[in-house]
Chain A
Amino acid sequence: MEIRNLDYAIGGRPVFAGLDMDIGRGRVTAIMGPSGTGKTTLLRLITGQIIAEAGSINVAGVDMRTVRRADLYLLRRRMGMLFQNGALLTDLSVFENVAFPLREHTDLPERLIRALVLMKLQAVGLRGAADLMPAELSGGMSRRVALARAIVMDPEILIYDEPFVGLDPISLGVILRLIRRLNDALGFTSIVVSHDVQEISTVADQIILLSSGKVVARGTPAELKAYPSDVVRQFIGGLADGPVPFHYPAKDYFGELLAAGEVH
């Protein structure tokens, strides 16, 4: 995956200006950065949910800026995406959720669909939950079912959007192990967007750190820990204040307090 000179703005405010990025095949790449830096926007650009204003995004040989809708849908069959909340279809059971892409895109006989779905559910440890409805699952289980659904078509690229948010340590550990295991066993290219520095460092081959719409650092987790940059140090060390300010831009504090006093 190759991103070159990418420009994108939301409501006139530039999110990316001249972004360059490479994501290697068959590796787990983590995209990290402070909130509001455009990580989710980048995922939406990579998956063709939104279109960049300038530059190029090349995903598996397809330019996402000029791709036609039919070709985009063909490409998406080679991609899997795990949404933050799982995004399971609430009117279908766990089994039917995982079977959904197979039923929509293939004419496989029912017996084969059943075997494939059970294999994927076994891979995420939830074969026993096949008959449950999404409302009966915990957050961690929902995400594992969504992961089974994302891999059921054996994609080449697997994208995780904040996969650890709101998970207890056990579920988090399970998802982490699955990311690594699935990547190694099935040879995906995995892209993980996350805030969780410690957790992601244990599974990522490469970390790309974004800040203010630019790549500020890239390297292995060990390289990033020793990176000579204040932004990287602040982010990796979890410091409240630094180049990324604690306060949202505002008027002078005392001036505003005095003005509030005058009003009353």
Chain B
Amino acid sequence: MKAFEELWDSLVESLVGLGSVVRFLLRLIVNSPRAMLRLDLIAQQIYNSGALSLVIIMLSGLFVGMVLGLQGFQLLQRFGSEEALGTAAAIGLVKELGPVVTALLFAGRAGSALASELGLMRATDQISAMEMMAVDPIVRVCVPRFLGGVITMPLLSAIFCMIGIYGAQLVGVQIMGVDAGSFWSQMRASVGMADINEGIVKSCIFGLACSLIAVYEGYYAMPTAEGVGQATTRTVVTSAVVILFLDYLLTAAFL
């Protein structure tokens, strides 16, 4: 009976938490038009979340592509169809690995930075100081960071896919000796706009989810060192789980 009560309490708590996240999202959306008047603030956040994440995204894209090239070559060789390596790598990257791995890296690099920055702003009274200066911190601080993340994620995902395909080509064509013409022409023939659209939709939704979680956790962090640490950890963990869960839903929806 006690276990049931605890389960019920945690269910209610989760629903209340979800409700407050949705309410926060609505506040961000409602305030977005006002925040969009300050394009300089959004550009700064695109730089913080995007440009500063480029190195990790490009390196990871290269390695993921190289692993795909190796594994794909091993597998396709068994059926004598190594030429399909280009298609396999491109489909795998554009539809799945690109959006998912980029989002996971984004949550770890940019999401954690956003959450800890906002948490520290709360802990050092910077948020309260803005409110006292009659500046709405949602408009001035949260929305630019949220929009910056939403804009950045699809761009990073595209770069990840591009470098990943180059990595697969590097291993498959340059090292394993797959014919370059077949690699590229089969890819061009088999990868359609529908596949690319799936990747774009996924990365946009992951970008929204990651940015929302990071900004929410940071903004409502407890104003202590421990609170900021917990907010950062929760951002990465929650984002990872949400990304993988959403990925399943979206993949099923696109079938």
Contact = CB atoms under 8 A, between A and B. Distances in A.
A73 B129 contact: no
Contacts of A79: 132
A85 B126 CA distance: 10
A105 B136 CA distance: 11
A104 B128 CA distance: 16
B135 A90 contact: no
Contacts of A153: 133
B136 A90 contact: no
A139 to B, nearest CB: 13
A135 B150 CA distance: 30
Contacts of B120: 90
Interface size class of A (residues with CB under 8 A): 20 to 34
Interface string A61-92: 00000000000011011011101110111100
B34 to A, nearest CB: 12
A76 B132 contact: yes
B134 A87 contact: no
Interface string A99-125: 011001100000000000000000000
A101 B135 CA distance: 8
A141 to B, nearest CB: 16
Interface in B129-180: 129-136, 140
Contacts of B121: 89-90
Contacts of A5: none
B9 interface: no
B124 interface: yes
Contacts, number: 51
Nearest to A97: B129
Contacts of B140: 104
Contact of B125 (A73, A76, A84): A84
Interface centre among B129, B130, B140 (most CB of A within 10 A): B129
Given A90-B124, A104-B140, A81 B129 contact: yes
Contacts of B134: 73-74, 76-77, 101, 104-105
A90 B125 CA distance: 11
B136 to A, nearest CB: 7
Interface of A: 47, 49, 73-74, 76-77, 79-81, 83-85, 87-90, 100-101, 104-105, 146, 149, 153
16 contacts: A73-B134, A74-B134, A76-B134, A77-B134, A80-B132, A81-B132, A83-B128, A87-B124, A87-B125, A87-B129, A89-B121, A89-B130, A90-B121, A100-B133, A101-B135, A104-B133
Given A74-B134, A76-B131, A104-B140, 20 more contacts: A49-B131, A49-B132, A76-B132, A76-B133, A76-B134, A80-B132, A81-B132, A83-B125, A84-B125, A85-B124, A87-B124, A87-B125, A89-B130, A90-B126, A100-B135, A104-B133, A104-B134, A104-B135, A105-B134, A153-B133
Interface of B: 120-121, 124-126, 128-136, 140
